[in-house]
Amino acid sequence: MNAAKPPGGLVWFDEPPPPPATEQLSRERVVAAAVALADESPSGEITMRAIANRLGTRSPMALYRYVGSKDGLTDLMVDEVYGEITVPPPGDWRTCLREMGLSAWAAVRRHPWFARLAFSRPPLGPNALRLYDSALAAVDELGLPAATRVGFVNTVLGQVFGSGLALLEELAMRNRTGLASDAALAEAVQPYLERIAAGGEYPHYIRWLNEPNPMAEVVTFEQQLEWQLDGLQRLAEAR
């Protein structure tokens, strides 16, 4: 053991060697720790070192035996969340896709970082495949060509991931600037906007800011999802 010797210090001076590696590592434990860590961080950013730390392991290198690389770990995390998305058994296709969308939306609310990663990794893990398989089963009754079937599914998932990403980035931005509440945020931007207003440009923008509740969320995710389903339905009927 050639650990860096504290210059002129005896072993006794160090604090005793941290939580003694509670348990065997495993791919599952690594992924679970990564997911938990990402859930806690507002931005969803994680670090191999942080994961190692959480597992009581001193070195990030220990993880590489189980996940290959950070990208590999990312894929595993993504598939983990795909596993939380459910599709009802085949029946009315529109109901199925709606339920899938809502279920995916719930998963994204639990794990906002998922929206970002889902965009950047191909859905090829077992849970992703299972999800796509169920969803394709649900639209089977329409008798559409292959590309159209998967287009239907992707439209719904795209809506979820897009809205999720907007959600994530707003969370991250609020946290980065330390402005958690609507009020604090409004106050911080105040001086800047007043300078803008003084310039007399952007009259409609200024008028919006001065009306009550300008930030209320009025076009909800559920609403937009329904609109997309309307569109898909019209597409299916016009076939």
CB of 169 to DNA, least distance (A): 18
The nearer residue to DNA, 46 or 131, going by C-beta atoms, is 46
What tokens appear for 216 in the block? 């209320």
Cβ(25)–Cβ(62) under 8 Å?
yes
Q: Which of residues 64-93 bind DNA (CB under 7 A)?
A: 64-65, 69-71
9 binds DNA (CB under 7 A): no
Counting runs of H as helices and runs of E as strands, what totals does the chain give? Answer: 11, 0
In the list 49, 110, 176, 207, the residue contacting DNA (rule: CB under 7 A) is: 49
| Residues lying near its own copies in the complex (CB under 8 A) | 119-122, 124, 129-130, 132-134, 136-137, 140, 145-152, 154-155, 158-159, 161-163, 165-166, 169, 172-173, 189, 192, 196, 201-205, 207-208, 211-219, 223-224, 226-228, 230-232, 235
Number of residues interacting with DNA: please give it, by CB under 7 A: 24
Identify the DSSP state of 89: P
Angle between helices 221-237 and 146-176 (to 10 degrees): 170
Candidate residues 33, 48, 77, 115; the one interacting with DNA per rule CB under 7 A: 48
For the CB of residue 120, give the shortest distance to its own copies in the complex, in Å: 5
Residue type, 59: S
**Is 175 near DNA (CB under 7 A)?**
no
Taking CB within 5 to 8 Å according to partner kind, which of its own copies, DNA, none is near residue 217?
A: its own copies
Residue 228 — φ and ψ, nearest 5°?
Answer: -65, -40
- Cα–Cα distance, 88 to 27 (Å, whole number): 30
Q: How far apart are CA 31 and CA 55, in angstroms?
A: 11
User: In this complex, which beta carbon is closest to its own copies, that of residue 53 or of residue 169?
Assistant: 169
Q: Is 34 in the site for DNA (CB under 7 A)?
A: no
The CB-of-60 to DNA minimum distance in angstroms stands at 4
State how far the Cα of 79 lies from the Cα of 111, in Å rounded to an integer: 12
> What angle is formed at CA 27 by the lines to CA 22 and CA 32, rounded to 5 degrees?
70
Smallest separation, CB 33 to DNA (Å)? 13
Which among its own copies, DNA, none contacts residue 25 (Cβ within 5 to 8 A by kind)? DNA
Which residues, other chains included, contact 197 with Cβ-Cβ below 8 Å and sequence gap of 6+? 206, 209
For residue 161, the partner it binds in its own copies, DNA, none, with Cβ less than 5 to 8 A by kind, is: its own copies
The angle subtended at Cα 153 by Cα 110 and Cα 119, nearest 5°, is 50
| Least distance in angstroms from the C-beta of 32 to its own copies | 24
Residues, the chain? 239
